[in-house]
Structure 1
């Protein structure tokens, strides 16, 4: 394997790592923000903060899926570069053409590493609301 091919694969691998890190950071920020909204809702007895959850969670869900989509596209690019002849290495980092199969935003929104977390975050405010309005569900 040529030095050019190894360097190109290294560039792509670094991009994949960045996308993975960004996805992880988005999950962390989501949990932090939602926790803060719950604390504010409880402290002020104001349901508005809990309702904000239904705005914030879908935004973060989409952002997380976007980073997963980019990661998957770069993995596909990595796989193509891995198979190329050493003479065909052009150092292209264009991954826009990999939009098939699991490399779509819908598939990423429904990925097993993403949807359970965000669905749970959407169900928690509903559970809190039910607990506050009916003792028979909580106690």
Structure 2
């Protein structure tokens, strides 16, 4: 492998790292925003704040799936440029073509329903609904 191929792999790896960092930050922001809106809901007892906590969680779920999808496509590109796949695609030197990777594990919905993302956001939504039910049926009824 020559220096240009190694540099190409470094470029691709930098994109993969950026996608991974974005995904991590989205998870953090999702938790922070949902927690803040849940705290407002708990203090005001206004159901709109509960709905407002669910909505950004869903939006962040879609956005996180997008970044995971892009990351998977660039991993496919990386593997083809490195020549570690059985049937590598023909990639020109320094070409960044994630659009060549579609379907199967490269589909958006595969990323959306991946175990790591599904566990995170489904747990958040179930937790938010559980807290809402707790406040509505136990805390508010006792007040």
Same fold by TM-score, threshold 0.5 exceeded? yes
- Paired residues of 2:34 and 2:54 also in contact (CA < 8 A): no
Q: Write the mapping of 1:1-139 to structure 2, written as runs, cut at 5 A.
A: 1-83=1-83, 89-135=92-138
What number of residue pairs does the alignment pair up?
A: 132
Q: Structure 2: where are the runs of 5+ without partners?
A: 85-90, 139-143
Runs of 4+ in structure 1 over 3 Å off: none
SS across alignment from 2:101: coil
Q: How big is the shift at 1:54?
A: 2.5
TM-score by length of 2: 0.87
- How far apart, in 2, do the equivalents of 1:120 and 1:129 lie? 14
Q: Give 1:110 deviation, angstroms.
A: 0.7
**Alignment RMSD:** 1.5
Q: Deviations over 1:56-103 (max 9, x none)?
A: 11110000000000000000000110119xxx7521011111012211
Contact in 2 for aligned 1:12/1:74 (Cα 8 Å): yes
Quote the Cα distance in structure 1 between the aligned partners of 2:75 and 2:127. Answer: 34
Note if contact 2:61-2:117 (Cα within 8 Å) is conserved in structure 1.
Answer: yes
